[in-house]
Chain A
């Protein structure tokens, strides 16, 4: 991979604004939470968004009628995008989720559109490479090690300090992230992550065969949404995560904004994230950062070149009610809409999956929705579907949204609403094919 600094991204210029059509290519996985908000934002602003995906046979018309790519064949995908751009040009190419940000950067490069360097986007997606780059740039990172799953672990674990956290290098949403307090726990966690990686659909062998291990950093965690313009970072919002995230798994739950951190800490946070973006080479578009703060300062857990995941983006409204996705689309077009966030507090609870099994029903949804300041309760798993908790799972049971006069009131409302819910789960028993030779494998 070329050095990020060797590539120079092209900023949006006045001539781009006048020459380019209001047409954007959004490359999205078929199951992305973000596609619908982007399409709604595009409709609201009369921006044409074409979805590119692998979902040729999707029942969702935006996918079925969109551009169809084979992300396993990058050159063929780029050719498909080039052909479509020749037919009707794009003003920008965006990747909605981690797996599509790199090809979006590649496509934008080919089409001569504003973009992040592909090497920078690659760094933002690969936790292990990102750690190395941050360390090189003098930004505080926990001590870290790589485990190569194709080699015996015993020879690789001698230097590891405990407690530590094991992470897949290219998955998100805390999937496969496990704390280990000793060597036995580390070996158990590595075996569990190895099974998960084999099933996760990662295309690169290195991503399926590598685990990042880093020293556990205690502290208060925040998530940050930002927007980069020619390398300059604008913080859109800081979400506090009021519940401690000490493991053994790291399930996201409460996100509350505005942050109640003091101004100097917020300033340090902004400077550290800005330095991380510069170290990666990120210059344009949305970023989503996760950081820990303790007595030693601000620690970067990740900076991704995309917006926040799940349905959490709907919590944010800017200026005269613009959504986060609207802001990102207009930014890609070179427009600079008003940014002032709404006053008051807001929060989201990513409803935890209490146990694995088959979802039978969620009781108390109406009561939860009636709690003061609760805007909406969304149960995103249908009855009869399997619930898979972390670290193997990759989706939430649902979301509760609150908007209140203050952040504290929003958080209290979310806690009260969550207490109204009772998740009824039926057990799920796996029936494994026996290893006997006269079984299915014959």
Chain B
């Protein structure tokens, strides 16, 4: 049986960044400490209140698991669980906030459990 190859590069079909988001990432990384290597996107939560999508500085890339989206002055690192939820999303930076403003393939969805209507409260 042949080994399954796991791509560590994030392709256009998986996740995109708008030019505004790319510029903001580059700006944030330019200001960061020298041991910061990129921006990590991750998901938390689930259940009734849905998934929460967050970002912070990355200090390392786990070459066995992490995927990377790289461009001029920026590097975005995503773990495989988060990438699963982020499939088909685009991150934008608008009005001083990061947002998902387009979904060209809704794979991850809101991540709500649906058991109680998905609204939490």
Contact = CB atoms under 8 A, between A and B. Distances in A.
B and A form one assembly: yes
Interface of A: 198-199, 202, 208, 357-358, 360, 386, 426-434, 436, 438-442
Nearest to A197: B121
A426 B56 contact: yes
Given A439-B103, A440-B106, A430 B92 contact: no
Contacts of B57: 358, 426-427
Interface residues of B, number: 25
Contacts of A442: 103, 106
22 contacts: A358-B56, A358-B57, A426-B56, A426-B57, A427-B57, A428-B55, A429-B54, A429-B56, A430-B52, A431-B91, A431-B98, A432-B53, A432-B97, A433-B100, A434-B100, A434-B102, A436-B101, A438-B103, A439-B101, A439-B102, A440-B106, A440-B110
Contact of B100 (A198, A428, A429, A440): A440
Contacts of B98: 429-432
A199 B97 CA distance: 21
Task: Output the residue of A198, A357, A426, A440 with the most chain B CB within 10 A.
Answer: A440
Interface of B: 41, 44, 49, 52-57, 59, 91-92, 97-103, 106, 108-110, 120-121
B61 to A, nearest CB: 15
A202 B121 CA distance: 9
B103 A431 contact: no
B120 A198 contact: yes
A428 B53 CA distance: 10
Contacts of A198: 120-121
A357 B55 CA distance: 10
B111 to A, nearest CB: 9
A290 to B, nearest CB: 27
Contacts of A208: 121
B54 A430 contact: yes
Given A431-B41, A431-B99, A440-B109, 17 more contacts: A198-B121, A199-B120, A386-B54, A428-B55, A429-B54, A430-B53, A431-B55, A431-B91, A431-B100, A433-B100, A434-B92, A436-B102, A439-B101, A439-B103, A440-B103, A440-B106, A442-B106
B56 A441 contact: no
Contacts of B41: 431
A195 to B, nearest CB: 11
A434 B55 contact: no
